[in-house]
Amino acid sequence: NELAPISREDRVEKLKGLGHSRKRVEDVRFTQGKGNYVDDLKLPSMLYGDFVRSPYAHARVTSIDKSAALALPGVVAVLTAEDLAPLNLHWMPTLAGDKQMVLADGKVLFQGQEVAFVVANDRYVAADAVDLVVVEYEELPVVTDPFKALEPDAPVLREDLAGQTSGAHGERRHHNHIFLWEVGDKQATEEVIASAEVVAEEMVYYHRTHPCPLETCGCVASMDAVNGKLTIHGTFQAPHVVRTVASLLSGIEEHKIRVISPDIGGGFGNKVGVYPGYVCAIVASIVTGKPVKWIEDRMENLTATAFARDYWMKGRIAATKDGRITALSCHVTADHGAFDACADPTKFPAGFFSIVTGSYDIPVAYVGVDGVYTNKAPGGVAYRCSFRVTEAAYLIERMIEVLAIELGMDAAEVRAKNFIRKDQFPYQSALGWEYDSGDYHTAWNKALKAVGYEDLRREQAERVEAFKRGETRKLIGIGLTHFTEIVGAGPVKNCDILGMGMFDSCEIRIHPTGSAIARLGTISQGQGHATTFAQILASEIGLPADSITIEEGDTDTAPYGLGTYGSRSTPVAGAATAMAGRKIRAKAQMIAAYLLEVHDGDLEWDVDRFVVKGAPERFKTMAEIAYASYNQAIPGLEPGLEAVSYYDPPNMTYPFGAYVCVMEIDVDTGVADIRQFYALDDCGTRINPMIIEGQVHGGLTEAFAIAMGQEIAYDEIGNVKNATLMDFFLPTAWETPHYVTDFTETPSPHHPIGAKGVGESPNVGGVPAFSNAVHDAFRVFGLKQAHMPHDHWRIWKIAHDLGL
């Protein structure tokens, strides 16, 4: 009964707003096979594209014979660079200010590079025709090692850049050099290191790996020649940016292009970039006048679309004898592959790597990153991390461990001694960031207590003694990590992609009967936006989350936004949602005042209604106000209840966490059993605790994969050694460890609801926790640094090399 008074608590409960573990509304369709993915789309008379790819990592293309392929019944066209050149589409700009071949233009630079695009009326005919295209290659010397690529006599990879001594990010000092990016005070850092009581130094390699979303990349391009409208359905993490790029490349006016990201089976950074497949499908659709679908297979995805990491990081950390850090210096040799196609904000060629001082109060620091071309696939995407944050977190968390060894101290104590204190926030880092809020000591102490840290160390020491007596062959490793992320790119003044400032947006329409639709510039890829953004709104406007539809991913209907990656959705689009909600509420207050015949200021907001101050029986609910906004003529007010907000965040948000991993390692087999994994995350105000837990489980599992086995490895002639799921480690429920999650809640002071991002934290913090556990098990036997991934063979090798 609507009229029966219900308690305030019941009204709050009914909204399912902030803090409620609301079940994911998306899952109704996902669990019943009703998702709508790109490859589900079948348009009338649709054609299918497939690529001829290079088997060589570096070769000259001397001839391409398409005749046999064209003769195959069902084949419509075979495109090569020669066909694209008149349209000036044989090369395309990259997000990093470089350019990339769409189809091989005279040479190929990595295995799997796109050489020709076959279009046929059937997917299988297209695949058969790929085998009939005869390409002659003349092999060239291959470089897959970035250090060798910088040697004076290294082969010239990018002949198109011959003689260019500067690029998008400044001076190039070698024909395979891309840029040197520097942050911090180099001289002051060197001075402190030179006179330090203790210096620890290490080369830390974060290997090349690759996101592995369930759905690979693909699109369906459909040119409607009659209306001059191009529609592209695709696996895009930033649909509006794709629309802008498509307009700039094709010359088609932006309002005549509609980009739709339907359900996306995971992104993890893999679907941020622009790939040759998109360009070729669009051209083929324009040329043939028919829709053209291109969907890559798993091997193509792992071999040719954007990789992640591949950073060689040389760290030097200085400290006093009692463990107070005084300086940090890092030099990175960044292997970018054949083209610089990193997906980073324009002014940050190494992303947010300069968050490398981590959770520690380090007075002076310096970072230098050299980008290098090699004969590997291009990319450098933020695989579940905010633009190279995971590399930075891995380096600092390894350097803390190496420093602890140098000092002969417990690594937990070194961390606690150097944390930025709660009273130091907002904290200005030596490398230029302003951390918004944090309480690291509280989180750290909670984590150590939860795992029984001292008992664990005692047990570990006893195990070592038993090992030495020959009573066991298993060691215990305790992996510690305290990470700080930087997410929510970003203030428009310093973050842009291809010149588009990194704001985000939300547009809300309230319907007369008290339900609503909100459209956002972001796009969920499994994160549950339809669930959580409705919760933000429910708390802001007092309509139940179940009565609010969230829609994303259609550029014809959604307001312009920069998309979803780098955990930016909650910090930026989440903020836009709250702000648009507040505009709705402001207008609703005026309507309520009119209806209740009082002054605006005489009303106060109470969960789902405006109440006359001091007269709680006199109120108007949001549903009543919504109806009135459409059916009453209110003097001085336009009808309707709608609002839009474009939000430019004043700062990033800085989530953090404390993780502990306990491993049992069998030194004879190299098998590492994860006995315990405790993850404490602080993402500020928590919107949906259940979704956060799901995000943490997923991120930790990807971290486990990366740390313990997942990699993209090349042999000396540039063959990808693990391009199938037989060789590429993707953990199943069988391998995945059990996780215990926990939290503290330190709101962001500048976010409208105090929320920080969380999607990527577990990957950022998880990798060093797993890796530190492996290292820690062997610390007493003299291990300082061993490269990931720590698969069984590599762990066995550590034990073997230490003579165990």
**What is the Cα–Cα distance from 767 to 701, expressed in whole angstroms?**
10
Shortest CA distance to 375 belongs to which of 167, 162, 175, 141? 141
**Minimum distance from residue 386 beta carbon to ligand CDP (Å):** 9
CB of 36 to ligand CDP, least distance (A): 19
**Beta-strand relationship, 257-260 and 229-234:** parallel
CB of 523 to ligand CDP, least distance (A): 9
Residues that bind ligand CDP (CB under 6 A): 527-529, 532, 564, 567-570, 683-688, 691-692, 695, 755-759
Q: Of 295 and 692, which CB lies nearer to ligand CDP in the complex structure?
A: 692
Q: How far is the CB of 684 from ligand CDP (least distance, A)?
A: 5
Cβ(58)–Cβ(155) below 8 Å: yes
Q: How many CB atoms lie within 10 A of CB 205?
A: 16
Specify the residue, 112 or 528, whose C-beta has the smaller distance to ligand CDP. Answer: 528
Nearest of 363, 429, 350 to residue 390 by alpha carbon: 350
- Minimal distance in Å, beta carbon 563 to ligand CDP? 9
Under 8 Å between Cβ of 759 and 567: yes
Cα dihedral across residues 77, 82, 85, 90: positive or negative: positive
Shortest reach from residue 703's CB to ligand CDP, in Å: 15
Q: Hey, which residues are catalytic here?
A: 237, 384-385, 760
* Least distance (Å) between residue 276 CB and ligand CDP: 26
Nearest residue (CB) to ligand CDP, 531 versus 589 = 531
Q: Which is closer to ligand CDP, CB of 648 or CB of 666?
A: 648
Distances (CA, A) of 438 to 358, 444, 476: 12, 12, 31
Q: Tokens standing for 323?
A: 């463990």
Pairing of β 114-120 and β 47-53: antiparallel
Whichever of 91 and 565 has its CB closer to ligand CDP, that residue is 565
Closest by CA to 792, choosing from 709, 677, 701, is 709
Count of alpha carbons within 13 Å of 554, Cβ hemisphere only? 8
Helices 575-596, 529-541: inter-axial angle, 10-degree rounding: 30
Comparing CB distances to ligand CDP, the nearer of 411 and 755 is 755
- Count the neighbouring beta carbons within 10 Å of the beta carbon of residue 67: 10
Q: Please, are residues 17 and 9 in contact by the beta-carbon 8 Å criterion?
A: no
Q: Least distance from C-beta 732 to ligand CDP, angstroms? A: 23
Pairing of strands 325-335, 308-319: antiparallel
Q: How far is CA 522 from CA 240, 506, 552, 564, 685, in A?
A: 9, 9, 6, 5, 20
Of 582 and 784, the one with the shorter C-beta distance to ligand CDP is 582
β-bridge pairing 656-666 and 609-612: unpaired
CA 715 centroid distance within chain: 28
Q: Are 410 and 404 in contact (CB under 8 A)?
A: yes
Between 267 and 379, CB nearer to ligand CDP: 267
Give min distance, CB of 508 to ligand CDP, in A.
17
Nearer to ligand CDP, 512 or 694 (CB): 694
| Angle, vertex CA 38, rays to CA 34 and CA 42, nearest 5 | 85
CA atoms within 13 A on the CB side of 763: 27
Tally of CB atoms within 10 A around 337: 25
CB of 545 to ligand CDP, least distance (A): 12
Contacts of 465 (CB under 8 A, 6+ apart): none
What letter does residue 616 receive in the DSSP assignment?
E
Give whichever of 758 and 774 is closer to ligand CDP, judged by the CB atom.
758
For the CB of residue 757, give the shortest distance to ligand CDP in the complex, in Å. 3
Residue closer to ligand CDP by CB (options 564, 676) is: 564
203: left (phi over 0), alpha (psi -120 to 50) or beta: beta
Nearer to ligand CDP, 379 or 528 (CB): 528
- Which residues have C-beta within 8 Å of that of residue 740, sequence separation ≥ 6? 450, 676, 677, 678, 679
Distance from CA of residue 658 to its chain's centroid?
A: 20
Give DSSP secondary structure letters for 542-593. Answer: -S-GGGEEEEESBTTTSPP---S-TT-IIIIIIHHHHHHHHHHHHHHHHHHH
CA distance 208 to 695: 23
**Cβ neighbour number for residue 740 with a 10 Å cutoff:** 12
CB-nearer residue toward ligand CDP: 484 or 629: 484
Closest distance between ligand CDP and the C-beta of residue 654, in Å?
12
Closest contact distance (angstroms) between CB of 445 and ligand CDP is 22
Locus of tokens 């391998």: 735
Question: What length is written for the chain?
Answer: 804
Helix (H) or strand (E) holding 59: strand 59-65
Supply the DSSP string of 204-253, one letter for each residue: EEEEEE----SS--EEEEEEETTTTEEEEEE--SSHHHHHHHHHHHH---
